[in-house]
Amino acid sequence: VLGSGAFIPGFEDQVIGHKSGDEFDVNVKFPKEYHAANLAGKDARFAVKVHEVRKHILPELNDELAKSVGHESVEKLREHIRTILNDQYAEAAKRDMRNELLDILADKVKLDLPETLVDQEYNMAKQEHDHTHAHCDDDCGEEHKWDEKKERRDAERRVKLGLILAEWGTQNKVEVSRDDLQQAVWAEAARYPDPKQVFEFYNKNQNALAMLRGMIFERKALDAMLTHVKTKEKAVKPEELFQQASAK
């Protein structure tokens, strides 16, 4: 649903305004904290076709409506919605704190990075970029051209943060359980029209499963690290919070 915020940042803006039958490309950049580690921070191009456009018509808010969606009354429905929104705000705030901490770690921690790891990360990003923009020509725009210096810096940042989180997580006995892995696969599958294909992909692709496990390990290490960080509460509007959490 457009406007739900469930898509990759920037995706909805490029879809809004199109009509049924339109075919077009959507160019986006996956967030650095994207759950699929092999896509995090990468450029992507989606070929989109609009099959049908529908509009939500809001029904009257009353007890009958509340009961039709499984709640005893309007007040119970409001409580349920309030809980969902609070959970979403809490998750957005945590994403923002993760991003801030990653920026601090990347800026303050000094490491001698193994060139082989940086080269490997850089080359993987280059291959992803070339594959995504294989059909691209001069009309793709400057923002989608390969910037060697910037991409090298980004590769160094990813390698540095990976090493920091791996070391900290190991020292503090961070573990990825089977349940953690299953929940991550379910979350990934829920984003696709045919979840079965996602399950089959991870079942057959152990490398992808290992990358997913590594991403979960890094996130858990980062969350554990956040428990040692002093924070201050700050009142922000919901739209500002979600924008901050998805901007990096």
Mean pLDDT, to the nearest integer, of 224-240? 85
Q: Which residue, 164, 127, 100, 169, is CA-closest to 42?
A: 127
Q: Taking residues 128-157, report their average pLDDT.
A: 80
> Residue 57: what pLDDT?
84
pLDDT digits (tens, 9 = 90+) for 29-46: 888 777 676 788 889 999
Number of domains comprising the chain: 1
Residue 113 lies in a domain: yes
Q: What is the pLDDT of residue 239?
A: 78
* CB atoms inside a 10 Å sphere around CB 44: 16
pLDDT band at 161 (very low <50, low <70, confident <90, very high): very high
Return phi, psi of residue 44, to 5°.
-150, 150
Whether residue 124 lies inside any domain: the answer is yes
Report yes or no on 4 lying in a domain: no
Write down the pLDDT at residue 141: 60
Determine, yes or no, domain membership for 45. yes
Give DSSP secondary structure letters for 124-143.
Answer: HHHHHHHHHTTT--GGG-GG
In a domain, 5, yes or no: no
| Average pLDDT value for residue range 4-12 | 81
Q: What are phi and psi of 45, to 5 degrees?
A: -125, 125
Domain of 189? 11-52+59-247
Both tokens of 26, joined, read: 């959507």
In a domain, 158, yes or no: yes
Would the pLDDT of 124 be above 70?
A: yes
Q: What is the pLDDT of residue 68?
A: 92
CATH number of the domain that 176 lies in?
1.10.3120.10
**What does the alpha-carbon distance between residue 86 and residue 108 come to, in Å, rounded to a whole number?**
33
On whether residue 3 sits in a domain, the answer given is no
Is residue 6 in some structural domain? no
State the DSSP code for 23.
Answer: E
